[in-house]
Amino acid sequence: MTLKQCAAKCRKECNCTAFTTLDIKYDTGCLLVYNELIDIHTFPDNGQDLYVRIATIKIEKDHERVYKSKKMVITFIVVLIIIVVFILGLAILLGHCLKAKGGLVPLREDNVPDLPLFDLPTLFRATDNFSDNNKIGEGGFGPVYKGLLEDGREVAVKRLSRKSTQGVEEFKNEVIFTSKLQHRNLVKILGCSIQGEEKLLVYEWMPNKALDIFLFRETEKHLLSWPQRFHIIKGVARGLLYLHQDSILRIIHRDLKPANILLDHDMNPKISDFGIARSFGGNETQTKAKRVLGTHGYMSPEYAGKGIISTMSDIFSFGVLVLEIMSGKKNRQFFCHAHNHNLLGHAWILYKEGKSLELVDESLIESLLTQEVARSIHVALLCVQSIPEDRPDMCMVVMMLNSECCLPQPKRPGFFTQDGQFGPASSSSMQTQVSNNNVTITNQVPR
């Protein structure tokens, strides 16, 4: 019998439990095994195949056991992957939290264009390790240094000071606003750097630095002629008009002052420092600030006293700026023996007496164009009127500066009282802090 015939015979007999060949060498003959397998021998060399019958139910159970084992392995692998992904996600979240705690916030938003990121060693080399010899100024954010990049570009590097009153939100504002706003009278940001405790902003280089240097230093005043001053006034006005009406965001700067007006090679003015700026959406025209941020002497009465922010806040600051450009004197540090008023009150008194030209800086007398000067002072007084609704918007201001249209009579300026004392600013509801170095300061206003 062949092996195949032997297998057929074993299947026909119910008590046949196994079969094999009798002749191992030629694989012929048939050996049937009945009932239990006993006395099974082990053959030398390659041994002999023994075919054992197994019940179908046992095979199914074996398959089921194998399937369950595979299923358990797959389940274990899936659970392991989920645990690993969860741990990685937790680690990333923890990293973000730690960064936020250290003053870092993600800056990549859907509505924020990508900015070049400078690595810290590059900026250290560019500024000679932030050498004092390269320091060109300091504001509320921190010191500013001149830098020279490896490609030969000159830049200004603003470094957040650990002692600064400004922090994460101000840094984020500066990046978002300066990266999205593009205008010839706004400073251009080139990139930023965020590494550990270091937060730095990199700007285009302004060789003539800030306007306050030319206005308030006796050795520099004569370098700024009236045509240049009038050019600066109109440039700042155009920049504010863009911020208030023409940009994709309606921006209130909140800290407009000479120190934040930078000058390029041709003395073109560029508004800088958007750390405490606010954006308005839709038809929103004003809001109330949780904190009053800004610099004394430039804040409007409604903002300093009640925290009300609107475009009229910037209009008031612009009026103060113009009067300082005309006179070469700081509003908060102005003193006149004849009265106790600040620069705004002094300009108002001279205007009422028909002596506005007496406000003008002595260094301008030779280059003076009387009509332009008188008009500029008049427009400035319209901007610093006490009631916000009386002030012109920036569109009107630009038009009045560039035309000879008839101007309305200005009303009393903000903070003006008959006894020469400051009005709303002297209220006991404000915690006043005087800034000696003209940096941005914060007032807490109770609600």
Average pLDDT over residues 183-208: 89
Strands (E), 65-197: 135-138, 143-148, 154-159, 189-195
Which residues are bridge partners to 204 per DSSP?
Answer: 155
323, amino acid identity: L
Residue 425: its pLDDT value, please?
40
Mean pLDDT lowest for which of 174-178, 237-241, 274-278?
A: 174-178
Does the pLDDT of residue 439 top 60, yes or no? Answer: no
Helical (H) or strand (E) element with 168: helix 168-180
Question: What is the residue-averaged pLDDT of the chain?
Answer: 82
Angle at 375 between CA 373 and CA 379, to 5 degrees: 120
Does the pLDDT of residue 41 top 80, yes or no? Answer: no
Tell the residue number behind the tokens 């750390």, with chain if given: 275
How far apart CA 201 and CA 192 sit, in angstroms, is 4
Dihedrals phi, psi of 204, to nearest 5 degrees: -65, 150
Residue 428: its pLDDT value, please?
30
Report the range out of 206-210, 212-216, 369-373, 377-381 with the highest average pLDDT. 377-381
Residue 121: its pLDDT value, please?
92
Q: Is 200 helix (H, G, I), strand (E, B) or coil?
A: strand
Burial of 322 (C-beta count, 10 Å sphere; 0-12/13-18/19+): buried
Does the pLDDT of residue 107 top 50, yes or no? Answer: no
Q: Identify the residue with better confidence: 335 or 252.
A: 252
Residue 294: its pLDDT value, please?
87
Q: How far is CA 229 from CA 1, 190, 350, 367, in A?
A: 121, 27, 21, 11
Residue 100: its pLDDT value, please?
44
Annotated catalytic residue: which of 39, 110, 151, 255?
A: 255
Does the pLDDT of residue 152 top 80, yes or no? Answer: yes
- pLDDT-based confidence at residue 65 (cuts at 50, 70, 90): confident
Burial of 201 (C-beta count, 10 Å sphere; 0-12/13-18/19+): buried
Mean pLDDT lowest for which of 8-17, 105-114, 169-178, 319-328?
A: 105-114
How far apart CA 127 and CA 122 sit, in angstroms, is 9
Structure tokens of 91?
Answer: 């680690």
> Is the pTM of the predicted complex or chain greater than 0.75?
no
Do 412 and 290 meet the contact criterion of CB atoms below 8 Å apart? no
Average pLDDT over residues 363-372: 74
Residue 185: its pLDDT value, please?
95
Mean pLDDT lowest for which of 137-141, 189-193, 243-247, 259-263?
A: 137-141
Angle at 288 between CA 282 and CA 290, to 5 degrees: 120
Average pLDDT over residues 70-78: 87
Tell me the percentage of the chain whose pLDDT exceeds 70.
82
Q: Count CB atoms within 10 A of the CB of residue 64.
A: 10
Instruction: Give CA 364 to chain center in angstroms.
Output: 40
Angle at 375 between CA 369 and CA 377, to 5 degrees: 100
Does the pLDDT of residue 235 top 90, yes or no? Answer: yes
Q: For 153-181, how does the pLDDT look when each residue is reduced to its tens digit (9 = 90+)?
A: 999 998 887 666 566 777 887 888 888 88
Report the range out of 116-130, 184-198, 230-244, 406-420 with the highest average pLDDT. 230-244
- pLDDT-based confidence at residue 334 (cuts at 50, 70, 90): confident
Does the pLDDT of residue 205 top 60, yes or no? Answer: yes
Q: Identify the residue with better confidence: 26 or 433.
A: 26
Residue 165: its pLDDT value, please?
58
Residue 255 is among the residues annotated as catalytic for this protein: yes
Average pLDDT over residues 206-230: 91
How far apart CA 114 and CA 307 sit, in angstroms, is 33
How far apart CA 296 and CA 303 sit, in angstroms, is 11
Residue 435: its pLDDT value, please?
39
> Which residues contact residue 343 at a Cβ distance below 8 angstroms, ignoring those fewer than 6 apart?
320, 323, 324, 327, 329, 330, 331, 334
Burial of 247 (C-beta count, 10 Å sphere; 0-12/13-18/19+): middle
- pLDDT-based confidence at residue 402 (cuts at 50, 70, 90): very high
Q: Domains of the chain (ranges plus CATH)?
A: 3-53 (no CATH), 108-205 (3.30.200.20), 208-443 (1.10.510.10)
Residue 290: its pLDDT value, please?
79
